[in-house]
């Protein structure tokens, strides 16, 4: 997008120095070329047009993702919550379901894109509820809602504002007696979602939650994002908004977003290609650290869990929090005690009362937790 903007500004600059007649002639030439190119594109077939739609959208007009923004863009007073409820849910349609982990990953994780036609707006950090089809065996009542953090920005993966994505791990139960997965104990909703195909309907509620929203009013704010497994979902939305899309937030952002992700091994890494691109393009604004429990060792020679990786940077994280950084936790709640113990030790070494310190972070809304 920066390159596109640069080209457009160069064209604008070069034409301003021309006389009016020359400018008019140039505009006529550009219109003829545009019509000619359009005819060539149409002649190439509908499939090409469809495949290029997103790219055309990004480079036409202002080229910006700004049509779903508040005014000003950081104003969260109108963020929608619980637009659709259990008794009056929304029905979306699956666009695609794709396995996004390698063969040696512990379990299967899928990325599911759902079309909501722009009728189910949300903000990065919010969740969708999903009501799986069928009824419960024990009482014949409909299944209850399961919450999933949304894994895309408000514009969706296709930038149209008509889709949203979920990152779902298939929940299975290994029975030691059967020495096989017990289908009677598998996760109802996760298996339904991971088994969906294009066109399948998904009954949803929400969006829910404001705890994980990004405070964008101060563009120098640092974000420290800690995740285990599919807890990566909201942060993918954050990172796409700040580093991939041509949003007002991305244009203004001057802080540092620091992502910690804990998974079992390299095959279980999620969205690594996207994160590596962001790191390469914005080395001063995006940091990335992985904790691979089956491939790395912590400083004590044990398995490297997320709390161990965060502990390596304890003093730096403490300093960032003291300077106003916001820290996020999403994923398994088992990571929290270790991280809190680590920060308590840092406070102790500095002669600070940990309980009062953490209370202060919560009061200033710098501490965001969504664990399960």
Which residues are tagged catalytic?
148-149, 330, 370, 372
8 Å CB contact between 331 and 229: yes
Which residues make beta-bridge pairs with 122? Answer: none
Rounded CA-CA distance 314/359 in Å is: 18
Long-range contacts of the stretch 113-117 (C-beta < 8 A, 24+): 113/152, 113/156, 113/157, 113/158, 113/163, 113/164, 113/165, 114/163, 114/164, 114/165, 114/166, 114/202, 114/204, 115/162, 115/163, 116/90, 116/92, 116/162, 116/163, 116/164, 116/204, 117/162
Q: Which residues lie closer than 8 Å to 294 by C-beta, 6 or more apart?
A: 106, 264, 265, 303
Burial degree of 57 (CB within 10 A; 0-12, 13-18, 19+): middle
8 Å CB contact between 282 and 243: yes
């Amino acid at each position: 997008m920066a390159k596109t903007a640069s080209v457009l500004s160069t064209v604008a600059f070069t034409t301003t120095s021309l006389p009016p007649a020359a400018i008019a002639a140039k505009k006529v030439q550009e219109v003829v070329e545009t019509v000619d190119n359009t005819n060539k594109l149409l002649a190439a077939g509908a499939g090409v047009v469809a495949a290029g739609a997103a790219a055309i959208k990004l480079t036409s007009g202002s080229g910006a993702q700004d049509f779903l923004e508040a005014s000003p863009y950081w104003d969260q007073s109108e963020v929608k919550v619980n637009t659709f409820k259990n008794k009056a849910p929304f029905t979306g349609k699956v666009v695609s379901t794709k396995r996004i982990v390698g063969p040696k990953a512990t379990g299967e994780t899928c990325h599911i894109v759902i079309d909501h036609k722009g009728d189910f707006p949300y903000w990065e950090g919010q969740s969708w509820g999903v009501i799986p089809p069928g009824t419960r065996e024990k009482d014949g009542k409909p299944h209850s809602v399961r919450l999933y953090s949304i894994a895309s920005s408000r514009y969706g993966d296709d930038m149209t504002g008509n889709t949203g994505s979920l990152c779902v791990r298939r929940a299975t139960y290994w029975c030691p007696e059967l020495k096989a997965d017990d289908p009677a104990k598998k996760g109802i909703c996760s298996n339904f979602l991971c088994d969906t195909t294009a066109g399948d309907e998904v009954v949803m509620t929400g969006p829910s939650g404001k705890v994980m929203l990004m405070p964008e009013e101060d563009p120098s704010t640092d974000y420290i994002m800690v995740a285990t497994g599919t807890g990566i979902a909201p942060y993918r939305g954050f990172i796409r908004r700040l580093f991939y899309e041509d949003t007002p937030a991305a244009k203004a952002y001057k802080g540092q977003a620091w992502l910690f992700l804990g998974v079992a091994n390299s095959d279980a890494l999620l969205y690594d290609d996207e994160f590596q691109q962001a790191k390469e393009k914005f080395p001063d604004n995006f940091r990335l650290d992985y904790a691979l429990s089956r491939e790395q060792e912590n400083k004590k020679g044990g398995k490297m869990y997320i709390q161990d990786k965060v502990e390596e940077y304890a003093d730096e994280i403490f300093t960032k929090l003291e300077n106003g950084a916001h820290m996020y936790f999403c994923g398994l709640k088992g990571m929290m005690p270790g991280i809190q113990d680590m920060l308590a030790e840092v406070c102790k070494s500095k002669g600070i009362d940990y309980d009062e310190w953490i209370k202060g972070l919560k009061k200033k809304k710098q501490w965001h937790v969504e664990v399960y």
